Amino acid sequence: MLFDAERSLVKQSYDSRLTSSNVNLAGFGMVAWDARLRNPAEPLTYRTTSLPVYDRNLRSIARKLCPNSFVGHVRGTRLLDEEVVSTQNLHPFRYPDTTVALSHNGILRSFPELRFALVDHMREEWAAAIEGTTDSEWIYALILSQLPSGETPDADGLATAVRRALAIVRRCWSEHGVETSSPLNLVVATPSALAATRFSLFYGWHVDDDPLLDIAGPYASLWYSLTDSFAADRGGRDGDARAFVLASEPLTGDDGAWFEVPEYSMVTATYDAGELTVAVEDLLV
């Protein structure tokens, strides 16, 4: 999935088909939960601002990994001076006191001006935990703040928290009169559950001087596959012949093996006692 697939995640750092810039050069991150490792609730976490295609450490780790649940992300940024490339800004985000991780494809426009409107909706511990400068980390802290304290949420719990967080962002932005297209494709995951969105806030509304303005631009993409082609590499564990894989574009050369997630949708997936459950619901926030 990381290196070998025809359209692997690492390949998408320099040659992605469905993102607007085709390159995502601002770093790589992953969290991987493996039930066989010590303290399985704590994921193996790896982040680097170097190009993953040249990263021999990552390649070595990938060969040994056999996770139950995995979130990987190649980061793309705008080519602007104000962008900060640092490990603190790399996805997936996961704070030490939670099992929940998040990665985000997209951009919450007007975030620098309006972010403090979100603080009122965050729990203190999560607001204080923010280290980086990205909109994505603030969204992460906002979603964590909608979850019950101290529990590992199931997929429905994750989905509810994401809906609430998106509704808060919409309300805060609208109250400030800012309604500009903001793609918010989110993946929120735990060791056994996942909720993901294909969603854009204020889709179809633009400001003229937006450097990312692309009126004809398509809705940010999201695809999924229920496949055994990646699970086969995992050592043939009992009950996990199939894997649920969600990606911004098909990782294999054959698009026919992938479903496109409908626009304005929430995908949930649960892996419980060898049983994989996947659902797609409308997302109108």
Partner 1 sequence: MAPGADVDPATAPFFRDLDEEAHAGLRGLLQRARFDPGEILWQQGAAADGAHVIERGTVEVSRRLPDGDSQSLATAGAGEILGELGLFGEGRRSGEARAVDKVATVFLSRDAVNMLASHPSTAITSLRRRCCHVGAARLRRRHAALAETLPAGDQPHPPLATPSVVDLSAAAWDSYVPKLSFFADWGPDELESLRARARIVSVPRQTWLYRRGDLPASCHVVVNGVLVERIERGPKAVKTGVVGPGRASGYVGIVLGSEHSVAAVAYERAVLMELQTEVFAELYDGRNQVSRRFVESFHRDVMVAVRQAERPHITVAAGVE
Q: What whole-number distance in Å separates Cα of residue 129 and Cα of residue 127?
A: 5
Q: In the complex with partner 1, which residue's Cβ is closer, 85 or 279?
A: 279
Q: Under a CB-based contact definition with an 8 Å cutoff, are residues 220 and 185 in contact?
A: yes
Residue 174 tokens, joined: 């609208």
Q: How far is the CB of 102 from partner 1 (least distance, A)?
A: 23
Residue 222 binds partner 1 (CB under 8 A): no
Q: State both tokens at 25.
A: 């050069």
- At closest approach, how far in Å is the CB of 76 from partner 1? 22
Considering only 219, 220, 236, 276, the residue that binds partner 1 (CB under 8 A) is 219
**With contact defined as beta carbons under 8 Å apart, do 189 and 101 qualify?**
yes
Listed ranges 54-62, 80-88, 130-138, 260-268: which one lies at the site for partner 1 (CB under 8 A) = 260-268
Strands (E), the chain: 28-33, 44-48, 69-74, 101-106, 182-189, 193-198, 200-201, 223-227, 243-247, 259-260, 265-272, 275-282
Considering the rule CB under 8 A, would residue 280 count as an interface residue with partner 1?
Answer: yes
Segment near partner 1 (CB under 8 A), from 24-32, 78-86, 131-139, 201-209?
201-209
For the CB of residue 216, give the shortest distance to partner 1 in the complex, in Å. 4
Per CB under 8 A, residues contacting partner 1 are: 179, 202-206, 208, 215-216, 219, 225-227, 254-265, 280-282, 284
